[in-house]
Amino acid sequence: MNVGADDSEFNAMYREHNRPVYRYLIRRGVEAASVDDACAEVFLVAWRRRHDMPTQTAKVRPWLLGVARNVAFDDFRSMMRWESHPAEQFEGVSRGADDEVIGAETERLVWSCLGSLSESDRELLLLVAWDGLSLRQTAAVIGHSYTTTKVRLHRARKRFETEFCRQQQSQTIDLTMHPATEASTR
């Protein structure tokens, strides 16, 4: 796909990648009031740099997410949101149809665990698990080598798993206490 060739190819690229870029920006904590503007900024940069965009279709989304990452960082710098309230960034984020697959409590636990991780760990996990990018594509988005990305992703997964198990164990409820309590009150 040669996006720089003409308007129709750029429009087709926009239609294909607009929603994933939009969702990425929301997940990165861009305010709801400014996410439309941030998404428009990504595609404005893409339009201006359309001759620099990758020609291979598989590389277009990672390139756009790299631009979106920079736009989101600009938004964060002005709002200082991640530093002041990292766990709150994930409140109210909806995964749509996935809500039916993952129980609400498990989903809340997952978001809580993600909120407790560093920004770079969250980004790696979400790019791979949510955006469905390959390791090479993820490396292109974050600007690291494939090997570095692979190692960092492995470590991020381990930290997430440790935090998930820790939080899950702290929320375990002993249901055997309830029948005994009822029997003693009779």
71 vs 60: CA distance, rounded Å: 17
CATH of the domain at 72: 1.10.1740.10
- Which residue has better confidence, 73 or 152? 152
Q: Of 17, 15, 2, which is closest to residue 133 (Cα–Cα)?
A: 17
**70 with 102, same domain?**
no
Q: What percent of the chain is predicted at pLDDT more than 70?
A: 72
Indicate the residue among 59, 84, 109 that finishes a domain: 84
Task: Examine the domain organization and report whether 107 and 150 are in the same domain.
Answer: yes
- Cα–Cα distance for residue pair 44/89, rounded to 1 Å: 26
Q: Specify whether 101 is located in the same domain as 61.
A: no
Statement: residue 20 has pLDDT above 60: yes
Pair (61, 98) in one structural domain: no
Nearest to 121 by CA among 176, 93, 163: 163
Q: Does 166 reside within a domain?
A: yes
| 2 within domain boundaries | yes
Query: Who wins on pLDDT, 11 or 172?
Result: 11
Does residue 159 form part of some domain? yes
Q: What pTM was estimated for this model as a whole?
A: 0.54
Q: Do 4 and 80 sit in the same domain of this protein?
A: yes
d(CA 181, CA 184): 5
Q: Are residues 109 and 157 in the same domain?
A: yes
Residues 75 and 143 in one domain: no
Report how far residue 159's alpha carbon sits from residue 11's, in angstroms, rounded to the nearest whole number: 40
Tokens, residue 134: 């390959």
Other residues' Cβ atoms within 10 Å of the Cβ of residue 70: 13
Domain end residue (candidates: 35, 63, 84): 84
Mean pLDDT across 73-78: 68
Q: Work out the pLDDT band at 141, boundaries 50, 70, 90.
A: confident
Structural domain span for residue 97:
89-172
CB 163 within 8 A of CB 116: yes
Q: Are residues 75 and 136 in the same domain?
A: no
What CATH number does residue 114 fall under?
1.10.10.10
User: How buried is 140 (Cβ within 10 angstroms: 0-12 exposed, 13-18 middle, 19+ buried)?
Assistant: buried
Q: Please indicate, yes or no, whether residues 125 and 51 belong to a single structural domain of this protein.
A: no
* Overall domain count for the chain: 2
Angle between helices 119-129 and 135-142 (to 10 degrees): 140
Could you tell me if residue 7 is left (phi over 0), alpha (psi between -120 and 50 degrees) or otherwise beta? alpha
Report the amino acid identity of residue 179: P
Task: Give the other-Cβ count within 10 Å of 108's Cβ.
Answer: 15
Please, is 15 exposed, middle or buried when counting C-beta atoms within 10 Å of its C-beta (0-12, 13-18, 19+)?
Answer: exposed
The mean of the pLDDT values for the chain is: 77
Give the pLDDT score at 40. 92
